[in-house]
Chains A and B, each alone.
Chain A
Amino acid sequence: MEPFYHALKVDPKTCVGCTHCMSLCPTQAIRVRDGQASINKNACVDCGMCLKSCPRRAIYVAQDDFSRIFQYRYRVVILPTVLFGQFAEDVTEDQIFAELHDMGFTHVIEAAQTYGILAKATQKYMKENPLSRPFISGFCPAIVRLVQVRFPSLLDHILPLKQGMDLAAIYARRKFTAEGVAPEDIGIFYVTPCAAKIAAVKSPVGEDASDIDGVINLDFLYNKIQMGLTLHKDAPLPPVPEQTYLSPDAIAWSLSEGEASRFEGRCLAIDGIHNVSDILEKIENDELLDIDYLELRACDHSCSGGTLTVNNRFLTIERLRKRMQLRTEARPSANDIPRHEDYLIANGRLREKIPPRSIDQLDDNFVAAMEKMEKIKRIMQVLPAIDCGACGAPSCQTLARDVVQGKAKLNQCVFMQKLLCKDALMTAGESLRLSERTWGISRFEQPE
């Protein structure tokens, strides 16, 4: 397991170092060097803002090879609810399940089937730990990581509970092993709507390993299902062994207000990682008291706005609301997850404390940190404070910080270069070479 696995990658052939991602990153994890965006692993929280902001689609989400599922005899796929929101209204849940079986999965489970158990576990924990109020939901892995990196003093407020996909995986493994299936024959795959859930599987927080064996990106699976739907357009629908009915509350869980509307007291639902940062700032300052529960999601409109979703998020929500109204016959016999409730609640706690990943301190030594801060203050007096990003850092403040940490040079600032050239302390050639280091030599070559 990697300490901080990140699925977000920059494609060097497509990236031109345009700074869109750099200025929107909520943890200032991105710098431009040699005409390329580079992401600092220690600061990245996998929220996907960089991917969403990229005008050239140079940022992508790495995924496991799909054929890996065939290494297993029992091939379980766990679905996020928003998957169904990607399709037009006339594509039924049964059709989607049938396609998943057709492409090789032997068992299909929706993560939201565990929602009732998760809600109970949450209530139980809140009752047993009243002093940890306000409770911060652990639903969104990007938010858990944001708290680790930027608000470590709030870590004890995060509910230390496994989420729907984990519970579904624990359930599947328990069920099949009880039936006599060898553990190495069971492969459990999660279809992810975002990069953060991949990080949660590859380098889980508060656990030494995930119960999930592999991850499939939602956009990839969407294409595969669409392809199958086209191929099987005129074929009769094969029977689907699983239940395809979900209660409206279960469907709503991954949407905004899904958690907040379920619990008692003052519950807030906040989506969008910058909005979340604002609220956490207030909580940390004790400006907001009397809050009981915080549902915090990194993406606008929660998972319907996930980085790997294909449909417009408003249309996704509309499609899911349609599903909530479905009067499809509930086949409770087909869903035996509730029978494992006691086991899942008992095994649904994180085993370890969530560790801080603070990136704020300038130095471990207080006096050294003070000296660096004095230096930053002095540097800030000469920088233009326009946050243009032309130095390759997202703001003048971050450039100043990088300079005192020995990670950048003050003369990367184009404003400083102009001043130095004016006073004949730098030649135009030297200035150009500095810019080439930030933007790459090829950017300055004349087109033929």
Chain B
Amino acid sequence: MEFSYHIEGGDFSKAGLASSEVKKILKQLNVSASVIKRVVVALYEAEVNVVAHAYEGDVRVDIAPERVVVVVEDRGPGIPDIPLAMQEGYSTASAAVREMGFGAGMGLPNMRKNSDELNIESEVGKGTKVTMLTRFNP
């Protein structure tokens, strides 16, 4: 079962809409609260990343009986050095973004922590595709 959401770059007020919707869906499917929390936290971080760094992005959520796969694909600057970006505290967010309380450099580490499989593909100048898989019965 698939659901999709659009994310507008720069619109911080709407970051979190997709994760809230996905939470509602997973609750209806009787997924355990701890798994829901992981999925929602990981997706929220991904949403904030798109808002803070990219022009726009799309979220595709694919739910199967044993797992959920979340793909967040954006049109944006891309990540030149993925291992560096994965380090806790590393951030390229602008001063303005940090002032709003975002950009602490915990986005990608939190996504890794809250998903069972994380895959990042990125092309500088084009965009980034983050794929996260979370199993319902870990």
A residues in contact (CB < 8 Å) with B: 152-153, 281-282, 284-287, 358, 360-364, 366-367, 369-370, 373-374, 377
Contacts and interface: CB of A to CB of B under 8 A. Distances in A.
B25 to A, nearest CB: 7
A373 B2 CA distance: 11
B63 interface: yes
Contacts of B19: 285
Interface of B: 1, 16, 19-20, 23-25, 27-31, 33-34, 36-37, 40-41, 44, 63, 65, 136
Nearest to A363: B30
A291 to B, nearest CB: 14
Contacts of A152: 33
A370 B26 CA distance: 10
Contacts of A281: 20
B1 A361 contact: no
Contacts of B40: 284-286
A365 B24 CA distance: 17
Contacts of B24: 360
A204 to B, nearest CB: 24
A286 B44 CA distance: 9
A361 B65 contact: no
A389 to B, nearest CB: 21
Contacts of A362: 28-30
A276 to B, nearest CB: 16
Contacts of A153: 33-34, 36-37
A370 B1 contact: yes
Contacts of A366: 29-31, 65, 136
A374 B2 CA distance: 9
18 contacts: A153-B34, A281-B20, A284-B40, A285-B16, A285-B19, A285-B23, A286-B44, A360-B30, A361-B30, A364-B30, A366-B31, A366-B136, A369-B29, A369-B30, A370-B1, A370-B29, A373-B25, A373-B28
B6 to A, nearest CB: 17
Contact of B1 (A360, A364, A374): A374
Contacts of B63: 370
A285 B39 CA distance: 10
Contact of A361 (B28, B34, B37): B28
A281 B25 CA distance: 14
Nearest to A286: B41
A360 to B, nearest CB: 4
Contacts of A360: 24, 27-28, 30
Nearest to B27: A360
Contacts of A285: 16, 19-20, 23, 40-41, 44
Contact of B44 (A287, A369, A374, A377): A287
A18 B92 CA distance: 54
Among A284, A363, A377: residue with most chain B CB under 10 A: A284
A367 B63 CA distance: 11
Given A366-B65, A370-B1, A373-B25, A286 B30 contact: no
B37 A286 contact: yes
A65 to B, nearest CB: 41
Contacts of B44: 285-287
A284 B1 contact: no
Contacts of A364: 30
Contacts of B31: 366
Given A362-B28, A370-B63, A373-B28, 15 more contacts: A153-B33, A153-B34, A284-B23, A285-B20, A286-B41, A360-B27, A360-B28, A361-B29, A362-B30, A363-B30, A364-B30, A366-B31, A366-B65, A367-B65, A373-B1
